[in-house]
Amino acid sequence: MSEEFTEPVVVLHVGLFREADCWVRLLSPSKGVVTGFAFGGMRSRRRFCGCLDAVSKVQFRFQRSKRGEYLTLCEGALLDRFTGVRQRPGRLGMAVNCLKFVEAVQLGEHGAPEIFALLTQTLQLLDETPALEPVVPLFFRARVAFEHGYQPELDQCLLCGCDLEPGRNASFVLERGGLVCGACQGRAPGPLAALERGQWELLRRVLLAPPEQWPVFPERADQVVQATARLLDQYVQYHLGVQWDGNRFVRS
C-alpha cells in the first residue's frame, strides 16, 4: 500500500513539466522542504482550484509512491492566498525573498514545525500590517537560523557567565553566536560587534518574540535597526552559509 497523508503546507515554488503537469516545492511542517507532483494539475480546477501558486497556504492530500521515491499531490484546499501581499509589489518581494531562503537552506525535518509556523506568521505580518520596515526578510532569516539550532546565548556572557542586562556594555561574538560582557571583550574569539542598548533589545525581540511584535521598533529606529540588520545578516551567512546576491541565494 502506498502511504497517504494530509497536511497544511506553504507553496514555495511551482514549475511546469509536460503540458498539464507541475511540480510543487513546498514547506511541510513535518517533512521540511519537499517536492510533490500534481499530475494534470494545470487542467484540474476541481482538485487544485487556486492551490498551485507560490505564496499560498494550502492543505494537500499526499500520496507517496510505492517505493517511496516521490510524492504525488492528490488534491488541495486553499487555506490562505495572502491577498494583501499579492496586491503590493513591495510586500510580494519580501514574501518571495523569505520563500527563496527557505528553499535555499535545504531544510529537512529538523526544526520544520517551528519554521513552518514562523513562515506562516511572517506571511500574515506582511499581509496585514499597514507600515513595515523592509528588514522583515532579514529578521526572518535570522530567526530561521535560530530555529535551525544556531541559537545565540542572549542572557549570559559566553565566557564568564555573568547575567547581561539591557544598558550594560556587551558585544556580539559572531563565531560563537552569543554575547560577552564588557570585562571579557579582550579575550573573546574572532570579530566582535559592540551592542547599543536598543540593539540588544531588538536582537532579543527578533529572535524570541512572534513576528507580529517585530515592527514595534525602539527609539532611534533607523540606526538601531540598520546596525542590528547588518549583524543578523553576518550571523546568518556565517552559520547557514547562504548569501543573497540581489536576485537569489547562493552558497557562500
- Interface with Zn ion (CB under 5 A): 157, 159-160, 181, 184
Give me the least distance between CB of 184 and Zn ion, in Å please: 3
Chain-centre distance of CA 20, in angstroms?
Answer: 31
Q: Which is nearer to Zn ion, 11 or 184 (CB)?
A: 184
Min dist CB 185 to Zn ion, Å, is 8
Spatial strand order of the sheet with 153-157 comes to 153-157, 178-181, 170-173, 192-195
Task: Give residue 163's Cα distance to chain centre.
Answer: 29
Q: Report how far apart the first and last C-alpha atoms of the chain are (Å, whole number).
A: 43
Pairwise CA distance, residues 121 & 110, whole Å: 19
Q: Which is nearer to Zn ion, 153 or 233 (CB)?
A: 153
Residue 111's region, left for phi above 0, alpha for psi from -120 to 50, else beta, is left
**Shortest CB 239 distance to Zn ion, Å:** 22
Diameter over CA atoms, the chain: 66
Nearer CB in complex with Zn ion: 22/157: 157
Closest approach of Zn ion to the CB of residue 158, in Å: 7
Alpha carbon distance 86, 81 (integer Å): 8
Shortest Cβ distance from residue 186 to Zn ion (Å)? 10
Closest CB to Zn ion among 171 and 228? 171
Nearer to Zn ion, 142 or 159 (CB): 159
